[in-house]
Amino acid sequence: MPTILVIEDDAPIRTGLVDALDSAGYDTISAADGRAGMESAQRASFDLLLLDLVLPHVDGLTILKKVRELRPTTPVIILSAMGAEADRVRGLNLGADDYMVKPFGARELLARVNAVLRRSPERPQEILSVPFPGGEADLARCEVRHEDGKREPLSEREIAVLRYLAAHPGRAISREEILLRVWRLPASASATRTIDMHVANLRAKLRDDPTDPRVILTVRGKGYMLGNGNGNSGGAAPAKIRAGDSSPSPSSE
């Protein structure tokens, strides 16, 4: 199920929101003020944000602007006691997908959440496995299986990188994009080198020759792309993937 980040400073309201979402089967992350909310919004992995506007330390509109900068397609629902038309228009113009005026009922909240998630472009199908020449990466079981019977375990971050590459076939993914969209980390020289290290580990587990990679291709000046097994880094077709019915975002550690 999708993960929902709740940023709300009123403790009873926050508890009610989390309880309603948990009862409906969603995973939740919560923050009790704007400072903690901003930290979670930048670093946590989530599929939708429920955001109060009036918060201690950092206001909700500042958080909304940062989320739109880092995650332009992640859906946001504003929760506010300010129900005037001008307030609603301002929130929607700044990039919110919906605006709910307090107080509201749990059934309306869940209906709005479901509606926003259904139309969100941030929800690709869940990728359960990625075939490659000589084997298969089973992301559900967190392992690589080779045709000779050998197996290799996959870490959460290795799975996250492989899933994200498979979810964007035919496109070179930059290291900075992986850091921001998969791991929710700001880009830095040391962090981008960490991406290279994880790709190197993945290639070793996939038996992908680093001098002539055919599964995870290096696209010069751009980043990495999932290949078709032919080693063509100039626009290779992505490996076929099998997808499930649910649709969480790529996981992060």
113, 77 contact by CB (below 8 A): yes
DSSP 221: T
- Count of Cβ atoms closer than 10 Å to residue 139 Cβ: 24
Whether 76 and 113 map to the same domain: the answer is: yes
Give the CATH number for residue 48. 3.40.50.2300
Phi and psi angles of residue 91, each rounded to the nearest 5 degrees, phi first: -65, -45
Element (H, E) at 51: strand 48-52
What string of pLDDT tens digits covers the 253 residues of the chain?
789 999 999 999 999 999 999 999 999 999 999 999 999 998 888 889 999 988 999 999 899 988 887 777 789 999 988 867 777 777 788 778 889 988 889 999 999 999 888 876 555 456 788 999 999 999 888 999 999 999 999 998 898 899 888 887 778 888 888 887 677 676 676 677 888 999 999 999 999 999 999 999 999 888 899 987 654 444 433 334 344 333 333 333 3
pLDDT (tens digit per residue) in 38-90: 999 988 888 899 999 889 999 998 999 888 877 777 899 999 888 677 777 77
Question: Residue 43: inside a domain, yes or no?
Answer: yes
pLDDT of residue 253: 35
216 and 149 in a common domain: yes
User: How many domains are contained in the chain?
Assistant: 2
112 and 133, same domain (yes or no): no
Does residue 140 share a domain with residue 65? no
Prediction pTM value: 0.52
Q: What are phi and psi of 82, to 5 degrees?
A: -85, 100
Residues 100, 152: Cα–Cα separation, whole Å:
47
The residue range of the domain holding 150 is: 127-243
| Euclidean distance between CA atoms 239 and 237, whole angstroms | 7
Cβ–Cβ under 8 Å, residues 72 and 49: no
With respect to residue 197, please indicate whether it lies within any of the assigned structural domains: yes
**pLDDT value for 243:** 40
CB 179 within 8 A of CB 230: no
User: Residue 250 domain-assigned?
Assistant: no
